Structure 1
């Protein structure tokens, strides 16, 4: 009976199927606690990302989302000063439900994003990403109010051409 249990449990060197994901998550959490930029996989149970320009119209959309989300303001948004992009962190699975948008792209799995250090909350001295609206606990940007707000404010330039080039295909 003991031999049968050992056989059914798998060999001693076979890690559980989800251990690679757990190891990656732990490495990312340790990087966050060390205040380092942290690469994370989109989708899963964390978040997806909506990408827009960071133009004055996108900033106006942040102000609207501040009002919509009430106390504590808009959920997390990252500005990347290298390419003038905003990355809005939205609930996981949004990429599967996001209607086509002329001024925004929504990405989920299998894509990745590098989150800036939690200390990066002001315009950086060297071009790069920083938290335009810092991440607070489990607050994310609600997807469909964001979709409507972006449709009304129409941040330009649209991200579609840059992503088609970067991802190698139509979005």
Structure 2
């Protein structure tokens, strides 16, 4: 003889409160509520922006990337070609023609270990960057000088060495002004 078990009824068109009550009931006493749904909302907005080919605003650090900023001049272009060789195809680099900068996407946490040479700045938390749509590979506006690949960032150590060899012009003073930082905050020339 089988015994029947009583389960909560499945609701047709449940309200948000009813849905949350069901989730809480299924989670049991050790459930861990999400502390910050803002991160999830940001992730969804970013995904939708990327899917629609729109620029996306990203928080530096965390699990994504930090950014190294250099001038976008002949020396920096030579550094990109050198990183193509070092890396077998350089990781993501954005050129902002209006500002005259390259934004090199490097692994998260690089800003904390970056030794500031006079020709590059590395930023991480708490800064943000607006990235162009993934399909924008030419001006007007910021564009992907080297496309972003899911599995490839620019390695910070080799980049530091390549930049030391090619020495693009320093962005320090202008960048410090733009970010509202005190002189010297971005390194010896900031």
TM-score range, shorter chain: 0.7 to 0.9
- Which is greater in Rg? 2
Report the RMSD for the aligned CA atoms in angstroms. 1.8
Match of 1:46 in 2: 64
Indicate how the Cα distance of structure 1 residues 60 and 19 shifts in structure 2: closer, same or farther if over 3 A, else same.
Answer: same
Q: Secondary structure at the match of 1:49?
A: strand
Give unpaired runs (5+ residues) of structure 2. Answer: 1-26
Give unpaired runs (5+ residues) of structure 1. Answer: none
The alignment status of 1:163 with 2:175, answered yes or no, reads yes
Which runs of structure 2 are paired with 1:31-70 in the superposition (5 Å)?
31-70=49-88
Structure 1 segments of 4+ aligned residues over 6 angstroms from their partners:
5-10
TM-score by length of 1: 0.86
Q: Distance in 2 between matches of 1:150 and 1:138?
A: 22
Q: Distance in 1 between matches of 2:158 and 2:56?
A: 28
The alignment status of 1:110 with 2:126, answered yes or no, reads yes
How many residues of Structure 1 are paired with residues of Structure 2 in the alignment?
157
Equivalent of residue 142 in structure 1, options 152, 155, 178? 155
Write the deviation string for residues 49-96 of structure 1: whole angstroms up to 9, x where unpaired: 0000000000000000000011xx100000001111000000000000
Deviation at 1:18, TM superposition (A): 3.0
TM-score by length of 2: 0.78
Q: Distance in 2 between matches of 1:136 and 1:6?
A: 40
Match of 1:82 in 2: 98
